[in-house]
Structure 1
Amino acid sequence: MECEHCHKHPATLHFTGYIHGNKHVQHLCHTCALEQGLIEQNDHYPIHDLLSDLFNFNKKITTQQNKLAEEMLVCPTCQMTEQQFVKNYKFGCKDCYEIFSSELEPVLKRVHNGNTTHTGKVPKKEYAYQSRRQQIKDYRLQLKALIDDERFEEAADIRDAIKALENDRTETKEDH
């Protein structure tokens, strides 16, 4: 996309504003944005600052600065502090994943719509098999809970469903 003002350079900055309730969008190059006074000469936004502002982590940093030094988490391997991690969201070593896990989980939940584990994608030809496998796994958890609650009739129904899925899986594998 080219700059809407000079039509010479690619648009690298996109400004959105509302004037009298109407949305107004401008796509400008850096030079034109400077000329129009929309940015300062030294304006730059590192990605970690942008993300920190986006998720209101600056408030958290201020709170952490008020903590006593001995309450701060510090990685014993690389000496990275909790404050450094929250500011940059970069790990210093492999041990930081475990040390700062309590700080990392809320971030992952926000970024990934509440999910904190990666399940990955399944190829189309494997989807039916993987789906059936997951359903069997879920049924086995239900079966255990039903047996623990001594609800044996319902457990028998679940057991039969598991057997049916396992037989179907065996037949499908043999067809390949």
Structure 2
Amino acid sequence: MHETTIVKGASVERHLCEACASKTGLGVPQPATQGQITGFVLQAGAGLVIQGGARPVTACPRCLMTFAEFKQHGHLGCADCYVAFESQLLPLIERAHEGGEKHVGKIPRQTLDVRGAGLSTQERLDRMQVLQRELEAAVAAEQYELAAKLRDELRRLVEPAHRGGPAVGES
């Protein structure tokens, strides 16, 4: 049996027969366990693929989180998880961002299109600003009937996006 020990930076080697090795507590070397192999692979910096059931399971090389654990808990374990699970996360990100991989705003595009009577996001925001100015002017001029109409129109553009329901007059 061959033993190499590093003590205070110096390498010490011992060569022992099986009987002497068992007396010192070293014993006969056993095949490496899956945990030992996993530790070695992680120390080498490689990604980890755990073979188990019908298909391999990818785990994050830093925190060892699996994609199944992410789905169960709803959050990733560390920044490296984004790289480890990139192929599985991209479809989720694209779905959340309506086909894109980047965040494009607070209100989902489909909500704006349906609730904004076909207006683009910028047209909708511009219209809301105009209505707000007209509403303030109508109140200042004490034109309360006009102010009520402007308020209702503004609500049709604003409230549905916050409630998640259809705009007034839509089904």
TM-score by length of 1: 0.28
Higher helix share goes to which structure? 1
Q: Which has the larger radius of gyration?
A: 2
TM-score by length of 2: 0.29
